[in-house]
A and B are shown apart, each in its own frame.
Chain A
Amino acid sequence: MSNPSTPDPGPAPGAAVAADAQGMTVVARTQAQMVRRRFFRHRAAMGGLVVLALIVLLAFSSIGFASVPGWWDKDYWSIATVENGGRPTLSVLPTWLGGSGMHLGEHPFGQDNVGKDYFALTMRGVQQSLTIAFVVGLVGTFIGTLVGATAGYFRGRTEAVLMRFTDVMITIPLLVIAAVLGRRYGSSGIVVLGLVIGLVTWTGLARLVRGEFLSLREKEFVEAARAAGTSARRIIVKHMLPNIVGVIIVAATLAIATAILLEAALSFLGFGVQDPDTSLGKLISNYQTAFSTRPWLFWFPGVFIIAIALSVNFIGDGLRDAFDPRQNRVRD
């Protein structure tokens, strides 16, 4: 079978016809191919992926990132005169439907109190949310996997110490510890904030990975590797981790969704991103009282938070189904 991804069966034509007639044609697929196939067939997850990709593209191309300029001509810090009460100029209704045509206008999302362009502000907030989510996901997943794998593989005293430490960290509610850390590090920039939040969000994954490792380490292939004199590090990285990569990826995706909402909540409470920078949670917090007069200041950041969190959650669900199709079986 030269190209396993094509649906055509490989065996001799005569045999294939007979097998086809019985519905018995089986295409050999590797584990990774099966996972990919199941994931791409998950409609909600694909939808989530597309939406997320569009949002990432929009946020990073419009106002640019770091020192790279984007295609949008305004920035999120310049103060301007408020035109037309700061009303959004975005119009999506074509003229033949009675709207004013599809155009962005001068300030598609309107302007805030001091005339800053709200589109640029929102895009900056999206960038912040995505950055923090990425950093938290990376740091949390790395630490969680490390702690869980070490505890589960070595057992004994190492496990006792590590898991008791995990218990201690799990006792402190996530929002509480994140708020205390955010109070200290919120002003040091989004990446630092993401790092410290990542340092406290690994506990769930550590427990999960340890549980998987406890059963994996008793398997024959691990025994064989150990008997062959393989080092512990190599057994963990090469032999055991690939077996639970699904669990880790799914947990990481869901941790990213949690991190987005957590950052928004922290910034809303004032313990996250600090002035002059901004984030989606902070925008909502700033303009929650303006809702009855200028609702768009409240709607746009909110819709973006929900869109990001929802698409990440859907992707996570799709990945879970792809890695563990047993959970989804139809009742007999």
Chain B
Amino acid sequence: MLVFIVRRVIVSFFILLAATFVMYLLTANAGNPLGDLQESRAPNREALIEARIRLLNLDTPAPLRYFIWLKGAAGCLVPFAMECDLGQNLQGQDVTALLGVALPQTLQLVIAATVLAMVLGITVGIVTALRQYSSLDYTVTFSAFLFFSLPIFWVAVLLKEYGAIRFNDWLADPSVPIGVAVVLGVISGLFWMIVISGDRTRRLTTFAAAFVASAGALWLLSETRWFEDPGLGIIVIAVTAVGIAFLTTALVAGFTYRNVLYAALASAGIGIVCHFALASVLDDPSGLTIVGLALVTVAVGLGLGYGLGGLQRRQAMQAAVLTGLGTGALLFLDRLLGAWDTYSDQVGGRVIATIGARTPNFDGTFWEQGLDRATHLILPTIAIVLISFATYTRYTRSSMLEVLNQDYVRTARSKGLAERGVIVKHAFRNAMIPITTLMAFDFAGVLSGAVITENVFGWTGLGRLFADSLRAVDPNPVMGFFLIAGTAAVLFNMLADIAYAFLDPRIRLS
């Protein structure tokens, strides 16, 4: 295994080297870097041209210039011994500094979106595989095709118009007319009817229940002016937390033995008690407090599982930790929404933002700033999730179907194993092996995939830096961007190979 990894690392390094060379030559030929100066009418034109030639070493041929660039870039490998020098942009700013500003923005944008797309896509993929050829399967398949035929910039413009501008207009006087509530109720009814398939009676009951629940909830929320100051409230939190406890138990252990369920429920209960106990701490916490609380939650969950788990100790610990974190997330969301009222006043009622990563010069409590970030993130996140979610659904579905047809799954069933065990333990784990590769590719690709999203939503991240620099024929920032994107691609491909070899020993042996 070690030999395999070492060989892979060395090969990856040379691939990256070659890729930067190819990219450097292409970038050097992408346009005329002196174009804007040659057309200018500035009196000191000659001097400016001279200065730029010196700045970019234009008197050296491109293949040799690459080695000058490489010498500076090599410094980035040895963090302290040598200086990391990726050259300067046309304005004379250091590329390393530009990247330092842009990279965190991009990571903020893509990490949450990619993780969300993976979780959603894999879940939906598994459900559709388990219900092959149901109406749910057909609906999801069609939507998946539709989603990856959508140009992301087109979706982004639509989201800006309807998700932000019109939504904010509506927030000025948020009321849901009864007709709209009924229509949304019908849509929700149809949605749940498709998800929970079954015979006719069951479908009709589902439809009716979902219709009444959704339309009623909308009407109630509208009547109580909930949209002006949204929040979850302790009752909703408690009910959802108990729901999470049951869900995690169902996934992790099943209900045959009660110990796991008790641990998860206790975890949810402690979370809700903390909602009151920690009220003063949570008024304006720092980011560190939140991280600390999350760690405490994990510790408490582990303890609960250990104490209450009995024979199912491991499963109980897992369920308790997951439930605890879920409840914590709910409380966090509630607090964020709690800041809605004051935040809305501060930004003049335009709550959902269309441009940028934060409101300029915005200052407020932890929750207000958190809400500020969230409202800026929500639209680009939806755009990214819509597009990459489709791929995951399709791949997971086919991979899961493949696995479900294997003999070992039949063996597991014929042993009399419960369906939950067959799917979670035998099928799911094996179906995930090919998906790891896809995940790695995707993580490597998101950095470059954010180019369009960042441009539409005005985020000053890596993708924006790349597009702007390329437009201005500014080679060094383009190369800086590629160094990060290319390294990520190589690194994640390598990780995918290693993970694959680790998960599927057949690869290693052959």
Contacts and interface: CB of A to CB of B under 8 A. Distances in A.
A259 to B, nearest CB: 13
B502 interface: no
B254 interface: no
A283 to B, nearest CB: 11
Interface string B447-484: 11101100110000000001100110100001001100
Residues of A contacting B: mostly: helix
B30 A309 contact: no
B27 A291 contact: no
Given A172-B486, A314-B145, A265 B151 contact: yes
B154 interface: yes
A168 B150 CA distance: 29
B449 A265 contact: no
A121 interface: no
Given A167-B15, A168-B15, A173-B485, A179 B467 contact: yes
A200 to B, nearest CB: 9
Nearest to B405: A331
Interface string B381-412: 00000000000000000100100110000000
A284 B157 contact: yes
A184 B29 contact: yes
Given A164-B11, A168-B22, A171-B493, 17 more contacts: A168-B15, A169-B22, A172-B19, A173-B489, A174-B448, A176-B23, A176-B451, A176-B466, A179-B470, A181-B30, A268-B452, A302-B151, A306-B149, A309-B151, A310-B146, A317-B145, A329-B405
B151 A281 contact: yes
Contacts of A177: 23, 26
A297 to B, nearest CB: 11
Contacts of A246: none
A196 to B, nearest CB: 10
Nearest to B132: A331
| Interface-central residue, A175, A281, A314, by most chain B CB under 10 Å | A175
B349 interface: no
Interface in B142-156: 142, 145-146, 148-154
Interface in A253-304: 257, 261, 264-265, 268-271, 281, 284-285, 288, 291-292, 298, 302
21 contacts: A168-B19, A168-B22, A172-B22, A173-B444, A173-B445, A173-B489, A175-B448, A176-B23, A179-B451, A180-B27, A183-B30, A183-B31, A184-B29, A184-B30, A265-B151, A269-B451, A284-B153, A298-B154, A305-B151, A306-B150, A330-B132
Given A268-B151, A292-B165, A330-B133, A168 B451 contact: no
B490 interface: yes
B83 interface: no
A220 interface: no
Contacts of B11: 164, 167
Contact of B145 (A172, A313, A331): A313
A271 B30 CA distance: 10
A332 interface: yes
B151 A271 contact: no
B36 to A, nearest CB: 14
| Interface-central residue, A169, A271, A302, by most chain B CB under 10 Å | A302
